[in-house]
Structure 1
């Protein structure tokens, strides 16, 4: 959770202060140990004789993110000075900038800023249960979280079709471990490919990574089967043994949990926003 919070902090700060994104590496999560000894009353800067405390900077950071959990005491030590400087720079510029506060344009902008802050606050405070996450994951596994089918195989690559046919004849009638053992022996003896030292082992792969004739052949085969005819590619003639298939492979829930939570939060907030819009009596006079 802290990674997402910190990532949001950097994104908000970068938006508020041009140039910060470059120095901080964009919206990447902040990593590192916190600075020791910081309390709310610790003085971190002095501007024209006025002390600036950790609490002052925390209010600033929490204002940008609408998240009261964010504190300077918990941020990586190497970034503390930069956040303090951002706040001090804001105070310096505010002396000039505050002159716009009474203009009608600024007053109108304040409404937009309040809405943005409220939206951030709603997202930060929204709770999504593990049950909701799991329900969404299970209902959408085949839509969002399915990975490309994987195949585990071995192959023997030779130069001629006759040589490949001879190897196939030696393997016919073998099954299971006996087939795997014999295949590995023949691969080490005859294969011209770089995998010969590993008994022709290709490991798990996506068929799309392979040349088309090879991919088409393994996609039709079942685990434990060998090619009954040599497979010809630009590299030569292949004898293939498919060891295993994983046709329904999904990204694990713990890997996508944070993304699901963020999605569900935004979906819930969108419904709340729509309810508010629907409850208002609005008449737009222009097309």
Structure 2
């Protein structure tokens, strides 16, 4: 009777220990903790924790263990190029973890975001954006001929753009490029746009690397700066990257490199 009691007690102790493993592969245990960590990683990347996901993860871990054991048995793990890849992968993981840890300890604050927003808004204060249309052609002579026709009758601009412009996007729309600041265009084009007033046609064709342009500014308006909530994610990411860049710079400056 005493032996039966001792055996029952031993089984009671052994069951919880065995329950910590979700599977064994050729005697190699796959722990519940390892599976939980794998699932946690997938969830952090957008997956949803579910019995189906956990079963998929379990099977994936079993497969990996089978293949890893085979690689080790066949000596693949000892090959020089494989060792190099393993080393590089380890370094990459550590670098990513280091950067993530730094950002966790030094989060971007609301004040930093607000200050950056105010700075950007101030920089754009007074800037204009332009509603532009153009006709793009191969050579200067063609551009001059078309410009002469438009100067006589501006109403011909859209039809001439549809018939002659090399720019398929705007050409089909009568040369319309929509609203944009001059900085959206290549420099010769941008300089001309910035020099024109509402309703003004450039007095001569403008050459860029794309060809010759006939340019007209149809309208102008002040640049409307977006509200903070709309640009917050971009500002936060920019500040995070700036912080990481500065951190990396500091680490390199402190390192002894010979």
TM, length-normalised to structure 1? 0.42
Say which one has the larger Rg. Answer: 2
Instruction: Report the structure, 1 or 2, having the larger helix content.
Output: 2
TM, length-normalised to structure 2? 0.46
